[in-house]
Amino acid sequence: MTDLTEYLDYSSAPDQLTGGVRRIPISTAKGEFSVWVKRTGNNPTIRMLLLHGGPGATHELYECFDGYLPAEGIEYIYYDQLDSYYSDQPNDPDLWTIEHFVDEVDQVRRALGLNKDNFFLYGQSWGGMLAIEYALAHQQHLKGLIISNMVSDVQDYNRYAREVLGPQMDPAVFAEIQQFEADEDYDNPRYEELLMQHHYTEHVLRMPLDEWPDSIMRTFKHLNKGLYVHMQGHSEFGMTPNATLGRWNRSADLPGIRVPTLTIGAAHDTMDPKHMEWMAGQVQQGRYLHCPNGSHLSQYDDPQHFFPGLVRFLREVDDGEF
């Protein structure tokens, strides 16, 4: 493990005054912008860049990492993607593409000095999709890959929501949700209320709403709804068919991922944990981490399994023992 004196020493770093925060310039087809990042710790061989979900959520989804990873000496870097709350927000749908975000991640990588000797890429939900896409395009720069709570086929996500999770609800509630979706009445407050009370607290974060951590409430408050709806749709209960990610499927391409890869699934996730276990067998060097008490945000509702499994993977890859 990295010596904690060195891990906590920012004295020679240009971001000492800001506590690890900096803005990274990003070149796009629509001009120059900047994105927000925050580094925690120093570990020259384990540097993990965090790709948040959404699209359009924020790094705040991972603030609980502060309670677990510093004691392990792992360096990790929060990052708000373009058009997310802490970064620039050009609000241009022409930039809301997989191709843009993959290029953006690579620009961030270069600015941070991440390379095959130290670069672990962690992506959860939409961030997991982006991590897969990045690995398929640029895996020569990766030391390890973590795909958390994301299947490799959106249609499987949709099927699981409607054929497995939906029928677990009260039939009257499920029927009402289905009617709102058939009517495309997604902005109806009742639709959101039903999902929050009967789906989100069961499969997104398994806590009563009044116990959800402040970091998660801030994430919802700061969500870029326009970006989220454009790419994902209106809820976490499957993707809306006309969303730009609505037909995304990389299952057939997983065998092309050569770097050590950890897939993370949870028993109560919005995604099928069996699919995420299958993914670990499709990549060339894969392992599956199961969180038996967790849901979509298993770092919050099953940290007892999530963090030890994540740390073990990072260390074994770093030690050449994976």
Q: Which of 88, 198, 296, 301 is catalytic?
A: 296
Rounded distance, CA 317 to CA 312, Å?
9
Q: Which of 125, 152, 295, 298 is catalytic?
A: 125
How is residue 111 written in tokens? 């600015």
Rounded distance, CA 224 to CA 244, Å?
16
Contact (CB, 8 A) for 135 and 111: no
Q: Which of 83, 88, 269, 302 is catalytic?
A: 269
Is 296 among the catalytic positions?
yes
Rounded distance, CA 61 to CA 51, Å?
10
Cα atoms in the Cβ-side hemisphere of radius 13 Å centred on 34: 8
Is 138 among the catalytic positions?
no
Query: How many Å is the Cα radius of gyration of the chain?
Result: 19
Is 295 among the catalytic positions?
no
How would DSSP label each residue in 81-148? PTTSTTS-----GGG-SHHHHHHHHHHHHHHHT--TTTEEEEEETHHHHHHHHHHHHHGGG-SEEEEE
Rounded distance, CA 258 to CA 140, Å?
9
C-alpha distances in Å from residue 282, one per residue of 10, 35, 150, 257: 40, 33, 14, 9
Total number of residues shown for the chain: 322
Residues tagged active-site: 125, 269, 296
